[in-house]
A and B are shown apart, each in its own frame.
Chain A
């Protein structure tokens, strides 16, 4: 998942120092994870739960 892309051509890394070269993919990964995990860890809003409860009731009627 955080493996560096290894098909880089030599020209792409001319002035980039090692620190940046390694740190950047991780920063992207961490921030991406944060966007996802922030929502993942939120309590589920009631409308989601009532949606399924409602679907259940409708089904019972039919």
Chain B
């Protein structure tokens, strides 16, 4: 041990419960499935999503001394993942991950083709949403976060989260409605129709 007295845990006199590294590690490990799921929901490309989740996991581990024991670890790690996601997205990946074909290949994983098509519809819809609407919808609608937690993660007011979720839903409803009409059409024309509707939904959502 090369630690000197100034970093000695016992020397801390604030109200914080003592940081227990083994416990932190166990809790962090238990959250890995959620980090992956959140990442994949944000980004349809499985490989990229896992890269982001791994980066976030490592960042969370390296920042462990800044975590306040007893506080919401899931929200804390989701905040890290979210920031990591946008930082990588801004930096680089437009060229790779947003190729529709790539995203689709990674999504179709179940044997139930019809269900896959429907999930892919939503995936495309999600990808069309503005970042702030997509993240709000995923946090509240899929990850089980409360509006309060989602607001904390996104760094905005609870009311803002609520309105983003509601806008996201409205756009996606338009998209899903379009999907129903295409049930028996061939893939190409269905896709064309979908793209038209998606653009429409986006402009509606931005109004």
Residues of A within 8 A of B (CB): 1, 5, 7, 20, 24-25, 27-29, 31-42, 44-45, 47-49, 51-52, 55-56, 62
By the criterion CB–CB under 8 Å, are A55 and B118 in contact? no
Instruction: Determine the distance from Cα of A47 to Cα of B122 in the docked complex, in whole angstroms.
Output: 29
Given contacts A5-B169, A32-B41, A32-B142, 14 further A-B contacts (CB under 8 A): A1-B141, A24-B173, A32-B141, A34-B115, A35-B126, A36-B38, A36-B40, A36-B138, A37-B37, A39-B40, A39-B49, A42-B36, A45-B50, A52-B61
Instruction: Determine the distance from Cα of A54 to Cα of B126 in the docked complex, in whole angstroms.
Output: 35
Given contacts A40-B33, A49-B29, A51-B57, contact A35 B177 (CB under 8 A): no
B24 to chain A minimum Cβ distance, whole angstroms, is: 11
Residues of B within 8 A of A (CB): 2, 25, 28-29, 32-34, 36-38, 40-41, 49-50, 53-54, 57-58, 61-62, 109-110, 115, 118-119, 121-123, 126, 137-138, 140-143, 166, 169-170, 172-173, 176-177
Please give me the residue from chain A that is nearest to B172 by CB atom. Answer: A28
By the criterion CB–CB under 8 Å, are B37 and A40 in contact? yes
Selected contact of B37 from candidates A5, A36, A56, CB within 8 Å: A36
B109 to chain A minimum Cβ distance, whole angstroms, is: 7
Instruction: Determine the distance from Cα of A36 to Cα of B138 in the docked complex, in whole angstroms.
Output: 8
Please give me the residue from chain A that is nearest to B34 by CB atom. Answer: A40
Selected contact of A25 from candidates B57, B142, B173, CB within 8 Å: B173
Which residue, of A32, A47, A51, A52, has the highest number of chain B Cβ atoms within 10 A? A32
Which residue, of B32, B50, B126, B170, has the highest number of chain A Cβ atoms within 10 A? B32
Given contacts A40-B33, A55-B58, A55-B61, contact A32 B28 (CB under 8 A): no
Instruction: Determine the distance from Cα of A32 to Cα of B121 in the docked complex, in whole angstroms.
Output: 11
By the criterion CB–CB under 8 Å, are A5 and B41 in contact? no
By the criterion CB–CB under 8 Å, are B41 and A36 in contact? yes
By the criterion CB–CB under 8 Å, are B58 and A36 in contact? no
Chain B residues in 8 Å Cβ range of A36: 37-38, 40-41, 138, 142-143
Instruction: Determine the distance from Cα of A49 to Cα of B169 in the docked complex, in whole angstroms.
Output: 35
Chain A residues in 8 Å Cβ range of B137: 32
